[in-house]
Each structure stands twice: as C-alpha cells, then as structure tokens.
Structure 1
C-alpha cells in the first residue's frame, strides 16, 4: 500500500495560509478540518475558504467535515474543489446515499469515526467508500495526545479491508507524530494526518520526509 502524509492546516498560521500551504508542498494532501461548533466544540472555516485554498494549494485538498447535517453540506466541498471529502458516521443520516453523491461529483468519499465509534456496523458498507478515517483523538482541537486505545480498531479495519479485496484507504488523524506514526502504520494505517508535528517543525518538508520514512520502516517490519 502507498503511504501518504496529509498535514493538517489546523496547526498552520491562518493569517498566512497560502505560504503555509507552500511549506507542505512535498506532502500528498493538504488536510483541511471543517468544524461547525455543533458537532464539535470548535469553529474553523467553511466552503468559501476551502475554495480559496484549493486555488493556491500545490497539492490536493482533503476535507474532514466535523459538522452536523453533512448530508446537506458535504457536496458543497466537492463543488469547492476538494479532491477528498470525509464526513462522520455519527452525523450522517444516509451515509451510503451521501457517499454515492460525492463520488458522482468526482471526489473521493471518506467515512470518519470518533474514537468510541466501532467500525463493525460499517463493514458491509466498505464498497461505498474510498477511505475510512479512524480518529485517534476526540475531534475538535489539534495538539491532543494520541489515544493508543484506537490501535485495535485500526487493526480490525485494516483486516476487514484486506479481506474485502477493496482499495480503501485507512486514514488516522490525531496525535500523529514521530513517536506514534510507526504504531499507526504497524496497525495498518496508510494515510497519516499530522498537524502540529509538521507545522511545529522548523523544516516542514524535512519533517514530512521523516514521518514518511518512519511509516515505511514500520510497514517493512
């Protein structure tokens, strides 16, 4: 499986976002967290800002919608130019219908799960998604410590994907750093969201390379 690094701009300088996107040009994706202060206790940005970011980003934009009523709002992020749109299982009323609508708009459809949400109820739906996002912190704020209790869920999800024979990516988001990325990769993740670990480094490009190397080494084992 190809390993991908998706730095979260939640840890970037919001007053200099175009420049901050240039800092992560060596990554695979720019991860944009959309929060509505209802589904999670934080408020970030919406579709108009995502559209502006897409125009200046050197890499594809991966949107993570931590919002209520994604059935209504998620397609707007596809229209805004995001290449991947992930919504939460806990918020969607009709996740299959929404995933199909997103795919019809030409974007990758992802399903996000909070730490306490089991993967098992969604295993039969794997063919409907391009990516499963396992949150490794409680969604809402960057810089939280990694929750090791999520590793068994990552492993079970990877086993289910492998058994299905599907090309579904497995993303982890929350507390991913040099200290934790190897555990995530060993459990089966292949897309890694890292915010403060990248943007807190003096050399963001070097840190992206380092994270990629650590994940690859864990997979090689």
Structure 2
C-alpha cells in the first residue's frame, strides 16, 4: 500500500472547494472534516456539500465524522459519494455494527481515537476495521500544534495491527507537517492527514509530494 497523503480541506477556501481540491492532484485521498458543533465545538460540512464535492473531483473522499451520532448519520456520507467513512469510537454506540454496515456498502470502515483514548480496549474491533485514525490533536479545529504524547500510542497501535495481520491502515491527523511527519512514520503510521501544511504552502501539490518523500524516507531509514 505504501505511504498515503490525505490533505484536509478544513483549511481550504470553503467557497471554492472544487478548485481547492484541483490544486492537489497528487493527493491519495481528500479528508473531509464533518463537525456538528456538539461532539466538537465547530460546525463544517454536511452530506449535501460532500456530495457536491464528490462530483467535482476524482480523488476519493474520506469523511471524518466528528459528530454526536455517527450510527445514524454515517450512511448519508456513503450515499454522498465517500469511499471511506471514519467514526469516533467515543461517539459510536454500536461500533461493530457500524463498521459492518460501512463495509457492506463497499466503503472503508475507519475508527478514530481522540488523543486521550487508548487503543488497547478496542483491540478486538480491529478485524472489523480497514483503518484506525489516531488523532494527534484534539479534534475540532485546524492549525493546532502536534501532540508528541500521541507517538507511543501510534507505536502501540501499529503493534496491535501487526498482531492481527497488518492489513489495516494506520492514519494520523493533527499538526502533520514537514517537522512532524517523519516521527509519525517512524512510529508506524502510513496514512497522513495534513491541512494547514498543504493549504498554507505556495504550491499545495508540491507540499503533498514533499510530505510523501519525507515519510517514505523515514520508513526506509
């Protein structure tokens, strides 16, 4: 599978999302942060805007649901055209059922963990998942500084994934930049969400390429 770079459009120009995604043709995925102003103190996209974005790009969309009721809302993002849907285990009432619903619909099922949420209680869920997302900032706002305290959890999550066959992607999200991506790659992450670093760059697609090269070098070093 290799290293994947997934720019977040949270830091893009919301009024011109189609054009903003067109600026990152080298991206593997587009990360869509869905916030409901309840689970996190911010309000962003809903299914209608995600559906419009899916029609405007051929880059696959990953909806990161930072919402209070993912069990009820997740399938709307499948219908909107997302190829991967990420739910927070802190919010999901029936995470196994939700993961199976997503997989049965033909999309990747991803489970996200906030910085203070340990991975170990959810080891038995790993066979139901395609991706685990370790948040490296508190969810809710872009541009936050990377939390180094999450690096040991990334390593522990990688070890658990390897124990279960190693087919699950390990994604990190929050404060990912040229200054932090190598540490995450060394710890075992292979999918990297970067928002501010990409969209504050003069050439966002060149930054995608640069981040991928740094992560690949860290993995092979």
Q: TM-score, normalised by structure 2?
A: 0.99
Q: Which residue of 2 aligns with 1:142?
A: 142
Q: Which residue of 2 aligns with 1:129?
A: 129
| SS at 2:37 equivalent | coil
Give the conservation status (yes or no) of the 8 Å contact 1:127–1:166.
Answer: no
Q: Offset at 1:125? A: 0.9
Q: What are the ranges of 5 or more consecutive residues in structure 1 without an aligned counterpart?
A: none
Q: Which residue of 1 aligns with 2:56?
A: 56
Cα-Cα RMSD: 0.7
Q: TM-score, normalised by structure 1?
A: 0.99
C-alpha distance in 2 between matches for 1:121 and 1:163? 15
1:10-159 to 2 correspondence within 5 Å? 10-159=10-159
Q: Offset at 1:72? A: 0.3
Q: Which residue of 1 aligns with 2:161?
A: 161
Q: Which residue of 2 aligns with 1:6?
A: 6
Number of residues paired by the alignment? Answer: 221
C-alpha distance in 1 between matches for 2:56 and 2:190? 26
Q: What are the ranges of 5 or more consecutive residues in structure 2 without an aligned counterpart?
A: none
| SS at 2:25 equivalent | coil
Give the conservation status (yes or no) of the 8 Å contact 1:71–1:94.
Answer: yes
Give the conservation status (yes or no) of the 8 Å contact 1:131–1:169.
Answer: yes
Structure 1 runs of 4+ with >6 Å offset = none
C-alpha distance in 2 between matches for 1:181 and 1:88? 22
C-alpha distance in 2 between matches for 1:177 and 1:43? 24
